[in-house]
Amino acid sequence: MKFTFYHNNINVADLERSVAFYKEALGLTVAREKEAEDGSFKLVFLGDGTTSHLLELTWLRDMDRPYDLGDNEIHLAMKVDDMEAALTHHKEMGCVCFENIEMGVYFINDPDGYWTEICRADG
Mean model confidence pLDDT for the chain: 94
Residue 117 is among the residues annotated as catalytic for this protein: yes
Predicted confidence (pLDDT) per residue in 22-72, tens digit: 999 999 999 999 999 999 999 999 999 999 999 999 999 999 998 888 877
In this structure, what are the phi and psi dihedrals at residue 24, rounded to the nearest 5 degrees?
Answer: -70, -45
Residues contacting residue 18 through CB under 8 Å, at least 6 positions apart = 12, 57, 110, 111, 112
Q: Is there a contact between 108 and 22 (Cβ–Cβ < 8 Å)?
A: no
How much is the pLDDT for 123? 65
Residues contacting residue 86 through CB under 8 Å, at least 6 positions apart = 80, 118
Catalytic choice (16, 33, 84, 117):
117
In a shared domain, residues 54 and 82: no
In a shared domain, residues 39 and 95: no
In a shared domain, residues 40 and 87: no
In a shared domain, residues 88 and 45: no
Kindly state the average pLDDT of the residues 99-103.
Answer: 91
In a shared domain, residues 59 and 76: no
Q: CA 36, 116, 74, 77: dihedral to nearest 10 degrees?
A: 100
Q: How far is CA 42 from the centre of its chain?
A: 16
**Full residue range of the structural domain in which residue 1 is found:** 1-63
Q: How far is CA 71 from the centre of its chain?
A: 17
In a shared domain, residues 58 and 6: yes
In a shared domain, residues 76 and 111: yes
Predicted confidence (pLDDT) per residue in 6-31, tens digit: 999 999 999 999 999 999 999 999 99
